[in-house]
């Protein structure tokens, strides 16, 4: 065993995701079970720098497993990008004898954890908490399932009105750099086209597929676009299409932050609980600077920098399937 921790801090950082509370609960209760001191760090790295840290007991995390958001709150801290900021954060941890951290967040949070841990020798364990699923080393991330289901429910509703009016709808889902929410929600709602950042859209093919369907009197057309799609967001795509097909009756719907909130699905609660438990076990065993992921229902550890750099690859066969199923 490399190093045994005695007091651990847990924080949520970056964009919140449903299931973060379940993960905090699992980390806290597992830590307490092992006789560790557990501290909740408020507003991510910002609270670490300001010393906004509170001791947690079993009751502190009662009745939160079903709640969206994060009771520790979250932030993106500019100060943590500076050495001075990180030094202040370290001093605050030292004062409380915190010698291990669990960081629940996405790529930016893991980058910060890696730098901090290298500088100050505090072992950090990452849990992938992001609706975007843009992290390698795990089949899924905490919050993705909830976000996709929220998008699917919303798009199903849009389909009703879309169908009643024979309209072309462009629905924008979240994902600045990642197309997973668009891909999964688009497939699950039978979208005719899905535009994502990872794939270059063939403009002529898109226009051709929409006009061809119009000719066949398949007037209802759903295009799901990731906010960071290669042609831009939904408004941009709508403009391009209306210039090329002036007869199309187009409407745009941007789902936005509704996808980040809400009660986590059972799957998100489960993976958050599973990963949270193993985050503490990992610190106890002396692991550091790895992310806890789940692959084929088994716990899997990936170095933080690798989890961020490699991202998740989108299988191109899915794009082919989308076209065939929507024809």
Q: Which residues are catalytic?
A: 132
**Please, which of residues 138-177 interact with ligand F6P by CB under 6 A?**
174-176
Q: Min. distance of Cβ 114 from ligand F6P in angstroms?
A: 18
Cα distance between residue 250 and residue 131, in whole Å: 28
**Please, which of residues 11-30 interact with ligand F6P by CB under 6 A?**
15
Judged by beta carbon, residue 231 or residue 285, the one nearer ligand F6P is 231
Q: Contact at 8 Å (CB) between 79 and 90? A: no
DSSP characters over 83-103: HHHHHHHHHHHHHTT--EEEE
- The span of 43-51, 84-92, 126-134, 237-245 binding ligand F6P (CB under 6 A) equals 126-134
Q: Should residue 132 be labelled a site residue for ligand F6P when binding is judged by CB under 6 A? A: yes
Provide the 8-state DSSP code for 129: B
Q: Min. distance of Cβ 95 from ligand F6P in angstroms?
A: 31
Binding mask 206-235 for ligand F6P (x = CB under 6 A): ---------------------x--------
The tokens describing 210, both together, are 């929409």
Q: Min. distance of Cβ 253 from ligand F6P in angstroms?
A: 16
Q: Contact at 8 Å (CB) between 174 and 256? A: yes
Q: Min. distance of Cβ 145 from ligand F6P in angstroms?
A: 14
Q: Should residue 268 be labelled a site residue for ligand F6P when binding is judged by CB under 6 A? A: no
- The span of 87-95, 130-138, 271-279, 308-316 binding ligand F6P (CB under 6 A) equals 130-138
Q: Contact at 8 Å (CB) between 315 and 65? A: no
Q: Quick one: angle between helices 180-188 and 144-165, nearest 10?
A: 50
Pairing of strands 298-303, 290-295: antiparallel
The tokens describing 2, both together, are 């490399």
**Cβ density class 110-128: b for 16+ within 10 Å, e for less:** bbbbbbbbeeeebbbbbbb
Q: Should residue 68 be labelled a site residue for ligand F6P when binding is judged by CB under 6 A? A: no
Which residues are bridge partners to 129 per DSSP?
A: 142
Judged by beta carbon, residue 187 or residue 255, the one nearer ligand F6P is 255
Q: Min. distance of Cβ 106 from ligand F6P in angstroms?
A: 6
Residues in contact with ligand F6P by CB under 6 A are 15, 106, 130-132, 174-176, 227, 260
């Amino acid at each position: 065993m490399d190093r045994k921790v005695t007091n651990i801090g847990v924080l949520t950082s970056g964009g919140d995701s449903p299931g973060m509370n379940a993960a905090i609960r699992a980390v806290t209760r597992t830590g307490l079970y092992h006789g560790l001191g557990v501290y909740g760090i408020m507003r991510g790295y910002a609270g670490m720098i300001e010393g906004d840290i509170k001791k947690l007991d079993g009751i502190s995390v009662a009745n939160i497993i079903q709640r969206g958001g994060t009771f520790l709150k979250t932030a993106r801290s500019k100060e943590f990008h500076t050495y001075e900021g990180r030094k202040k954060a370290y001093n605050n941890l030292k004062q409380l004898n915190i010698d291990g951290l669990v960081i629940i967040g996405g790529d930016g949070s893991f980058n910060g954890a890696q730098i901090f841990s290298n500088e100050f020798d505090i072992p950090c364990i990452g849990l992938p908490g992001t609706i975007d699923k843009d992290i390698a080393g795990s089949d899924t991330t905490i919050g993705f399932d909830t976000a996709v289901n929220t998008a699917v429910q919303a798009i199903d509703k849009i389909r009703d009105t879309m169908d009643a009016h024979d309209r072309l709808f462009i629905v924008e889902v979240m994902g600045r750099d990642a197309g997973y929410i668009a891909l999964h929600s688009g497939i699950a709602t039978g979208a005719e086209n899905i535009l994502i950042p990872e794939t270059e859209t063939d403009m002529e093919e898109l226009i051709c597929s929409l006009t061809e369907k119009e000719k066949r009197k398949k007037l209802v057309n759903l295009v799901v676009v990731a906010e960071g799609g290669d042609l831009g967001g939904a408004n941009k795509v709508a403009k391009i299409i209306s210039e090329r097909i002036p007869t199309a009756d187009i409407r745009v719907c941007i789902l936005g932050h509704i996808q980040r909130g809400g009660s986590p699905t059972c799957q998100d609660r489960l993976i958050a609980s599973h990963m949270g438990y193993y985050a503490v076990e990992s610190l106890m065993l002396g692991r550091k600077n790895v992310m806890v992921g789940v692959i084929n229902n088994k716990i899997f550890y990936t170095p933080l920098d690798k989890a961020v750099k490699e991202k998740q690859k989108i299988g191109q066969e899915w794009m082919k399937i989308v076209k065939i199923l929507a024809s």
